[in-house]
């Protein structure tokens, strides 16, 4: 069968599958994780065993040849069982996927990406800062969903459209990346089945959206298999996208996913062995580009060496949902160097003749051999903790052949012995090496460039770069005091002065108890999940209820306030006013800047978080405003529909009052308090928890009604930050 006919058969088969998916089995596309929230602190916990992702290396180097024969037999059998057709890897419009060796996941909330004051994307700023540490980036995955997804009923596609500038702004932003030679991916979340129903198949929606903005690929969160419907829908737009599952495909979807992640190392309790493993997906189809990820590891040497040994790239994830988990300088420099080499030898790295665990001379040094038409590449890793100096490889000698040490940027002079060329060079402890043989001398093009670059870069040993990891410090945005009041302003209640045991914990889904997670209070030396502090609180007055629509309307009438970034501003209102009967409901769809503007007009301010919690808790550390036992009559019934219902009136639930008589503290709308900043992220602590709780996944924005728990809401821009579930109340300082 010729290739054209073979591809037609695949398309026809795909159309049949697409029809069956759409008509008979609409719910088959599901997330690979539990649908019920766990208790306590949660991290990623389930992962295929290593044997499903990797082959173990040969136990004895002397057995490498029969071990390799077994791998070849497995590949032949597996391809037959999958009825494998690799024609997708021959498509000219997707050939670029075979040159991807450095990918960065970029959160839209990262402060290097968008300037809310200027209202513009800052692509050059992000690239300049990132590439100065890890070298050129081939692709960027722009992450716009989790962890804020589910704060209200906007679905993942709504949140894409809601990014600053909408579709036209995104198109211009993508063009900026393209002008720097960077491809752009966006994610799709199989588990987002509890927010607003899009009314269209996800493969159709995402393909059309990304075609409209000129993006290049889709990353499939939590999936190791991509439905064929996405390939067909993408091709139907005339703008074919690269499809990238989070975990390498191990089924027939390998035929239409040109690129993927090796995310095995993300999971706790899995350790790399001393002898490098071989990536099964890369072995099955060497043209399938793999980028290794290793997010919650402070020293990434194991995953970096495995990536280079397997001829794979690296996916850098540093802003982990508002928690900066930056690469240490040693790891960043390793990525900068070895991806530069991989980029220059891309033809070798997709070779069907790849031979992992090709013989080396010295113990603890391992190599892969990648032959191409005009050159052969060896990638090497030294798994020893000490330097290995001297002879490293013995390769067949042929007159006129030249050998280059790519890691040090120099030509090697082989010692020829009995038809073999012995190649000597140094390998740092836990370091890397690369050798290429070619007839060309002098070399030209990418090889010439990488030799010149590495000759200069290697003047400083990789081992001199620090492996120390540090959490970045946060600062709390100052809240200026108000003019002190001698008596309670209308609608406000006095909270007396006194000592207070402030205890609270963050409920982020990921991150464990790593330093740097959650927020850093002024009295702490680092951000952390659990907080406990004995403090003295001065007397203040707090609003008895959240600010209502009617109260906010008075502010607008008095000031004619209108924000510069007015996207989603008072989204529920029509023609300058709230819906009929909503006067006593909490006002929502306001940014923290809008809330501050109202407070300043009223002579008030937003509460510090501990002031909010003290007002709800009094001094007895109760779990809920009404006591320690759950009372379903003290707050609205949880809203678990796909379309969010309006908030309740602020005084509908008197049983939910705190000991001070303050109402509507939990379970109706969350409420703005303090803002925190570090060099990469802005976030606000919102308190109280909203009634809206989309069902279907543990990954939605977590809500908590407990007074000893708080939520961290990431901030990007006023228009994007506004939500249908977040309101506010104010305080005034007392004399």
Q: What is the pLDDT of residue 426?
A: 97
Per DSSP, the residues of 57-105 read: PPSSGGGHHHHHHHHHHHHHHHHHHTT---GGGG-GGGGGGGG--EEEE
Mean pLDDT of the region 182-198: 97
pLDDT at 699 over 90: yes
pLDDT at 43 over 50: no
The three-state DSSP-derived secondary structure of 668-688 is CCEEEEEEEECCCEEEEEEEC
Q: Return the closest-CA partner of residue 700 out of 31, 108, 27.
A: 31
From the options 3.60.40.10, 3.40.50.2000, 3.90.1580.10, 3.10.310.10, give the CATH code of 475-733: 3.90.1580.10
Residue 455 and residue 407: Cα distance in Å, rounded?
A: 8
Residue 430 and residue 364: Cα distance in Å, rounded?
A: 10
pLDDT at 115 over 50: yes
**Is the distance from CB of 281 to CB of 290 less than 8 angstroms?**
yes
Residues 6 or more apart whose Cβ sits within 8 Å of residue 12: none
Three-state DSSP class for 34? Answer: coil
Q: Return the closest-CA partner of residue 67 out of 250, 277, 262, 379.
A: 277
| 585 DSSP 8-state letter | S
Q: What is the pLDDT of residue 733?
A: 98
Share of the chain above pLDDT 90, in %: 88
Residues 492-522: b if buried by 16+ CB within 10 A, e if exposed: bbbbeeeebebbbbbbbbbbeebbbbbbbbe
pLDDT at 7 over 60: no
| 522 DSSP 8-state letter | T
pLDDT band at 52 (very low <50, low <70, confident <90, very high): confident
Q: What is the pLDDT of residue 270?
A: 62
Condensed to tens digits (0 to 9), the pLDDT of residues 304-318 reads 999 999 999 999 999
Query: pTM for this one?
Result: 0.93
Condensed to tens digits (0 to 9), the pLDDT of residues 328-373 reads 999 999 999 999 999 999 999 999 999 999 999 999 999 999 999 9
Q: What's the mean pLDDT when you consider all of the chain?
A: 92
Q: Return the closest-CA partner of residue 608 out of 676, 658, 657, 669.
A: 676
The tokens of 680 are what? 């990469």
**Is the distance from CB of 530 to CB of 513 less than 8 angstroms?**
yes
How do the domains of the chain map onto residue ranges?
Answer: 3-328, 335-467, 475-733
Share of the chain above pLDDT 70, in %: 92
Q: What is the pLDDT of residue 250?
A: 83
Q: What is the pLDDT of residue 441?
A: 84
Q: What is the pLDDT of residue 354?
A: 98
The three-state DSSP-derived secondary structure of 243-310 is EEECCCCCCHHHHHCCEEEECHHHCCCCCCCCCCCEEHHHHHCCCCEEEECCCCCCCCHHHHHHHHHC
The tokens of 455 are what? 């000759």
- Angle (CA) 96-102-106 rounded to 5° is 105
The tokens of 330 are what? 């040693």
The tokens of 106 are what? 């970029």
Fold of 335-467: Immunoglobulin-like (2.60.40)
pLDDT at 34 over 80: no
Strand partners, 435: 378, 405
Q: What is the pLDDT of residue 49?
A: 61
Condensed to tens digits (0 to 9), the pLDDT of residues 132-160 reads 999 999 999 999 999 999 999 999 999 99
pLDDT at 590 over 70: yes
pLDDT band at 37 (very low <50, low <70, confident <90, very high): very low
The tokens of 633 are what? 């009559």
Q: What is the pLDDT of residue 28?
A: 41
Condensed to tens digits (0 to 9), the pLDDT of residues 628-684 reads 999 999 999 999 999 999 999 999 999 999 999 999 999 999 999 999 999 999 999
pLDDT band at 48 (very low <50, low <70, confident <90, very high): low
Condensed to tens digits (0 to 9), the pLDDT of residues 179-189 reads 999 999 999 99
Fold of 3-328: TIM Barrel (3.20.20)
Which of 47-61, 193-207, 447-461, 675-689 is predicted with the least confidence, judged by mean pLDDT? 47-61
């Amino acid at each position: 069968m010729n290739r054209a006919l073979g591809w037609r058969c695949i398309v026809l088969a795909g159309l049949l599958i697409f029809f069956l998916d759409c008509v008979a089995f609409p719910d088959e596309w599901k997330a690979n994780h539990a649908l019920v929230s766990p208790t306590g602190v949660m991290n990623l916990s389930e992962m295929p065993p290593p044997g499903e992702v990797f082959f173990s290396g040969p136990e004895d180097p002397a057995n490498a040849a029969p071990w390799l024969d077994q791998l070849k037999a497995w590949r032949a059998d597996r391809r037959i069982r999958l009825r494998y057709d690799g024609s997708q890897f021959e498509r000219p419009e997707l050939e670029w996927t075979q040159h991807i060796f450095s990918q960065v996941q970029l959160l839209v909330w990262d402060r290097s990406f968008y300037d809310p004051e200027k209202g513009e994307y800052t692509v050059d700023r992000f690239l300049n800062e990132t590439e100065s540490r890890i070298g050129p980036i081939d692709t960027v995955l722009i992450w716009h969903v989790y962890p804020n997804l589910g704060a209200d009923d906007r679905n993942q596609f709504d949140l894409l459209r809601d990014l600053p500038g909408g579709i036209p702004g995104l198109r211009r932003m993508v063009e900026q990346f393209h002008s720097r030679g960077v491809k752009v991916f966006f994610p799709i979340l199989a588990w987002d089945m509890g927010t607003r129903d899009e009314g269209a198949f996800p493969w159709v929606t995402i393909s059309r959206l990304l075609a409209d903005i000129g993006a290049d690929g889709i990353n499939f969160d939590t999936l190791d298999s991509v439905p064929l419907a996405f390939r067909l829908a993408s091709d139907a737009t005339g703008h074919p996208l690269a499809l990238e599952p989070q975990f390498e495909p191990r089924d027939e979807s390998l035929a239409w996913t040109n690129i993927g992640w090796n995310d095995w190392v993300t999971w706790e309790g899995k350790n790399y062995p001393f002898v490098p493993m071989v990536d099964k997906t890369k072995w099955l189809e060497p043209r399938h580009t793999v980028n290794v990820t290793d997010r919650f590891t402070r020293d990434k040497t194991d995953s970096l060496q495995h990536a280079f040994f397997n001829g794979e790239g690296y996916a850098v994830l540093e802003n982990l949902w508002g928690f900066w988990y930056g690469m240490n300088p040693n790891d960043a420099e390793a990525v900068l160097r070895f991806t530069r080499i991989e980029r220059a030898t891309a033809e070798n790295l997709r070779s069907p003749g790849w031979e992992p665990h090709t013989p080396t001379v010295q113990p603890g040094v391992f190599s892969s051999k990648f032959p191409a038409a005009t050159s052969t590449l060896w990638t090497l890793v030294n798994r020893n903790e000490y330097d290995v100096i001297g002879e490293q490889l013995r390769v067949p000698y042929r007159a006129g052949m030249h050998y280059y040490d790519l890691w040090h940027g120099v030509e090697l002079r082989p010692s020829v012995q009995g038809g073999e060329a012995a190649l000597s060079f140094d390998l740092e402890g836990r370091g890397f090496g690369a050798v290429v043989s070619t007839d060309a001398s002098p070399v030209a093009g990418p090889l010439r460039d990488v030799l010149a670059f590495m000759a200069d870069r290697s003047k400083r040993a990789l081992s001199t770069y620090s492996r120390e990891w540090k959490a970045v410090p946060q600062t709390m945005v100052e809240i200026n005091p108000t003019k002190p009041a001698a008596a309670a302003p209308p609608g406000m209640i006095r909270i007396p002065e006194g000592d207070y045991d402030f205890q609270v914990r963050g409920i982020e889904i990921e991150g464990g108890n790593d330093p740097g997670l959650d927020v850093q209070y002024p009295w702490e030396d680092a951000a952390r999940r659990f907080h406990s502090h004995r403090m003295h609180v001065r007397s203040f007055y707090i609003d008895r209820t959240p600010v209502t629509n009617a109260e906010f309307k008075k502010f607008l009438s008095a000031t004619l306030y209108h924000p510069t970034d007015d996207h989603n501003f008072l989204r529920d209102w029509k023609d300058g006013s709230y819906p009929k009967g909503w006067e006593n409901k909490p006002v929502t769809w306001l940014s923290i800047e809008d809330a501050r503007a109202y407070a300043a007009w009223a002579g008030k301010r937003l509460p510090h978080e501990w002031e909010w919690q003290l007002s709800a808790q009094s001094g007895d550390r109760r779990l809920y405003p009404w006591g320690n036992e759950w009372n379903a009559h003290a707050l609205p019934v949880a809203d678990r529909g796909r379309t969010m219902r309006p908030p309740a009136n602020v005084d509908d639930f008197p049983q939910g009052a705190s000991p001070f008589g303050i109402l509507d503290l939990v379970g109706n709308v969350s409420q703005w308090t303090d803002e925190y900043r570090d060099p990469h992220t802005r976030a606000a602590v919102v308190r109280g928890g909203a009634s809206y709780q989309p069902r279907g996944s543990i990954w939605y924005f977590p809500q908590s009604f407990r007074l000893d728990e708080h939520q961290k809401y990431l901030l990007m821009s006023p228009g994007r930050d506004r939500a249908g579930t977040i309101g506010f109340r104010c305080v005034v300082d007392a004399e």
